[in-house]
């Protein structure tokens, strides 16, 4: 009984809890709480864990609603660079930064997944969150899409062990067959800047807090996945996305 009372009162805002109690009654309740916490400190831990679980459920519900609301921007924007099967039954949206170490860690797993499963489509969303050099790399990547070389250029940048400064971008661009003069000119196109801004707004709407972040969607719905995952985890997420409703 005391445990239940303490947990309940910990979940109620102080002002609401005070309503309807006399000063003597409030003092008695406070003393009961203090004694209960002295006798069993796990009450507080359990109450806090319950609050955290409720907040996590709320965030997940908000994210599911955002994914449904932003479905066109996430999955069906024809201007987005893609890999894999254009008609795949599972779509993986990847928010990434070309300088992000965890994105570099994820890339081989995504490659392996696409090689194993011919029915997956990957949508790339450049999200340069790590500073001006990341923005420069994102501009170069989006400009490379106009020459049809985005996947090859992305792979080159995600395997780099040096910073993608302009000289390095030029070297890697020419290595994968891009016209550097055209690429450098188009990197400054305002439309590319607007594209990056749109990705930023979309990430904010979904509650993306860092890179990489994935949205894995299929007939069973969509799942948000923060952080890098390995190949077995990717395969499990894909299987879950294909599961019958």
Same domain flag for 211 and 164: yes
Which residue range(s) make up the domain with 32? 2-69
- Between 16 and 105, name the one with better pLDDT: 105
Same domain flag for 56 and 90: no
pLDDT of the residue at 14: 47
Same domain flag for 97 and 55: no
Which residues fall within 8 angstroms of residue 97, CB to CB, at 6 or more apart? 103, 126, 127, 128, 129, 130, 134, 138, 211
CATH at residue 188 = 3.40.30.10
Helix (H, G, I), strand (E, B) or coil at 96: strand
pLDDT of the residue at 85: 97
Tell me if 74 is assigned to some domain. no
Give the integer Cα–Cα distance in Å for 162 and 211: 19
Same domain flag for 170 and 208: yes
Picking from 69, 104, 124, the residue at the C-terminal end of a domain is 69
Tell me if 75 is assigned to some domain. no
pLDDT of the residue at 214: 97
Give the integer Cα–Cα distance in Å for 68 and 218: 13
Sorting pLDDT into bands at 50, 70 and 90, what band is 36? confident
Picking from 49, 69, 89, the residue at the C-terminal end of a domain is 69
Mean pLDDT taken over the chain: 88
- Let me know: does 129 contact 102? Beta carbons within 8 Å: no
Same domain flag for 13 and 56: yes
Tell me if 139 is assigned to some domain. yes
pLDDT of the residue at 48: 65
Other Cβ atoms less than 10 A from the Cβ of 192: the count is: 20
Kindly tell me if the per-residue pLDDT of 63 is higher than 70. yes
Which residues fall within 8 angstroms of residue 160, CB to CB, at 6 or more apart? 168, 172
- Between 60 and 220, name the one with better pLDDT: 220
Kindly tell me if the per-residue pLDDT of 19 is higher than 90. no
Same domain flag for 28 and 116: no
- Between 50 and 111, name the one with better pLDDT: 111
Tell me if 172 is assigned to some domain. yes
- Rounded average pLDDT over 236-240: 96
- Rounded average pLDDT over 19-43: 76
Picking from 36, 69, 102, the residue at the C-terminal end of a domain is 69
Which residues fall within 8 angstroms of residue 206, CB to CB, at 6 or more apart? 63, 66, 67, 70, 74, 213, 215, 224
What would you report as the CA-atom Rg of the chain, rounded to the nearest whole angstrom? 24
Number of domains in the chain: 2
Same domain flag for 23 and 114: no
Q: What is the pLDDT of residues 74-118, one digit of tens each?
A: 999 999 999 999 999 999 999 999 999 999 999 999 999 999 999
pLDDT of the residue at 38: 79
Sorting pLDDT into bands at 50, 70 and 90, what band is 11? very low
pLDDT of the residue at 229: 96
């Amino acid at each position: 009984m005391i445990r239940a009372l303490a947990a309940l009162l910990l979940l109620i805002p102080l002002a609401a809890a005070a309503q309807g109690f006399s000063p003597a009654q409030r003092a008695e309740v406070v003393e009961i709480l203090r004694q209960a916490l002295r006798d069993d400190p796990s009450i507080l831990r359990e109450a806090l864990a319950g609050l955290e679980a409720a907040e996590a459920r709320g965030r997940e519900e908000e994210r599911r609603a955002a994914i449904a609301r932003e479905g066109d921007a996430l999955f069906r924007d024809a201007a987005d660079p893609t890999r894999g099967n254009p008609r795949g039954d599972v779509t993986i949206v990847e928010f990434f930064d070309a300088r992000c170490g965890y994105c570099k860690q994820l890339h081989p797993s995504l490659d392996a997944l696409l090689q194993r499963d011919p029915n997956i489509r990957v949508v790339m969303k450049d999200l340069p969150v790590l500073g001006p050099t990341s923005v420069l790399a994102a501009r170069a990547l989006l400009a490379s899409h106009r020459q049809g070389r985005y996947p090859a250029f992305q792979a080159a940048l995600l395997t780099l062990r040096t910073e993608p400064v302009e000289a390095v971008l030029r070297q890697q661009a020419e290595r994968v067959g891009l016209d550097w003069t055209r690429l450098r000119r188009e990197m400054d196109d305002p439309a590319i800047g607007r594209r990056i801004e749109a990705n930023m707004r979309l990430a904010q709407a979904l509650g993306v807090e860092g890179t990489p972040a994935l949205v894995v969607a299929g007939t069973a719905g969509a799942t948000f996945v923060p952080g890098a995952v390995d190949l077995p985890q990717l395969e499990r997420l894909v299987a879950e996305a294909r599961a019958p409703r």
